[in-house]
Amino acid sequence: MTIAIAPAVCACRKTDYQHPRWPATYTCHWSWGNTKLAKDHTVSFGLPAFRSAHGFRVCPQAGTCAAVCYARQGNYRRATVQTFLEHNLAWLRAHPLAAFVAACSTDIAQLHPSWQRVRIHHSGDFFTPAYLDAWAEIARQHATIPFYGYTKQIRLLQRVQSSLPPNLHLVQSVGGKEDRWIDPALPHAIIFPDVASLEEAGYVNATHSDAPVYGGAVKIGLVYHGTDRLSAPNAARLRTSARPIVGAYAAPLVPAP
């Protein structure tokens, strides 16, 4: 299946993002520079946050999160970073998903042993069921490597959860249009304004390490880490949307990545 949207041109070269522990022959751009992920020996795959430069909606269930998304702030605004993310989406748009599965599998098979797991989407989301199926197949082909990610595609996740391979762990992410469908008994993530608020609500802190995520924690908390100041109106709206999950909570809440 090819993603049926307008063609895009990839202007990025492999030499622009070569890494000494990654072979020269790979197709997708993989991120290893994220401090949080690198110390956990995690490589990650990303897409443009929310919408691409050509207007394609990468995060179709984004809600209040779009206004405060960390992947639309700070270093993510740099032209080089945007080029890398647009490259991945452009490649997806130009090829059948079977080719994406083959390309990613080839890339991952060449991982240096120091890379121990893969995070799907430090930016972006599963924008179609077929695209999520593609990642499930990639995980199946690399059964010894843990894969994980956050998603706001709650109903899609619920439909496919039982068929996902055991090495693929996806977490419900608060802050989207489908928050009302989140099952709080299953792994879910919320971002809090500070550590005290996170601990008071009884969540495990995954701000500096995703270990709670791939370790199977259910109540995953992160402290807001956007570079832009969180406005009071956004904080209030996000607190309201999260209340059904965490209860009547005094501190403002912001959405998970």
Percent residues over pLDDT 70 in the chain: 69
Which range marks the domain in which residue 78 is found? 23-246
Task: Tell me what pLDDT residue 59 has.
Answer: 77
* pTM for this entry: 0.82
191 φ, ψ (degrees, to nearest 5)? -100, 135
Closest CA to 189 of 131, 139, 149: 149
What integer best gives the mean pLDDT of the chain? 78
Residue 95 lies in a domain: yes
Residue 9 lies in a domain: no
Residue 103 lies in a domain: yes
Task: Tell me what pLDDT residue 85 has.
Answer: 83
Task: Tell me what pLDDT residue 204 has.
Answer: 95
Residue 5 lies in a domain: no
209 φ, ψ (degrees, to nearest 5)? -160, 140
155 or 61: which leads in pLDDT: 155
pLDDT bracket for residue 27 (50, 70, 90):
confident
Task: Tell me what pLDDT residue 200 has.
Answer: 84
Residue 128 lies in a domain: yes
At 187-245, the pLDDT tens digits run 999 877 778 778 888 999 998 899 999 889 999 998 876 655 667 776 666 566 666 67
Residue 205 lies in a domain: yes
- DSSP at 227: S
The C-alpha atoms of residue 223 and residue 246 are separated, in whole angstroms, by 15
pLDDT bracket for residue 10 (50, 70, 90):
very low
Q: What is the helix, strand, coil percentage profile of the chain, to 5?
A: 40, 15, 45
pLDDT bracket for residue 133 (50, 70, 90):
very high
Residue 16 lies in a domain: no
Residue 252 lies in a domain: no
HEC secondary structure over 73-141: CHHHHCHHHHHHHHHHHHHHHHCEHHHHHHHHHHHHHCCCCCCCEEEECCCCCCCCHHHHHHHHHHHHH
Task: Tell me what pLDDT residue 96 has.
Answer: 92
Distances (CA, A) of 247 to 7, 139, 187, 240: 45, 35, 17, 10
Tokens found for residue 246: 């965490």
> What is 55-68 written as a DSSP string?
--BS-TTB-THHHH
The C-alpha atoms of residue 225 and residue 230 are separated, in whole angstroms, by 10
Least confident range of 124-138, 159-173, 216-230: 216-230
* Count of domains observed in the chain: 1
At 37-74, the pLDDT tens digits run 888 889 999 888 766 667 778 777 766 655 555 554 44
The C-alpha atoms of residue 174 and residue 161 are separated, in whole angstroms, by 17
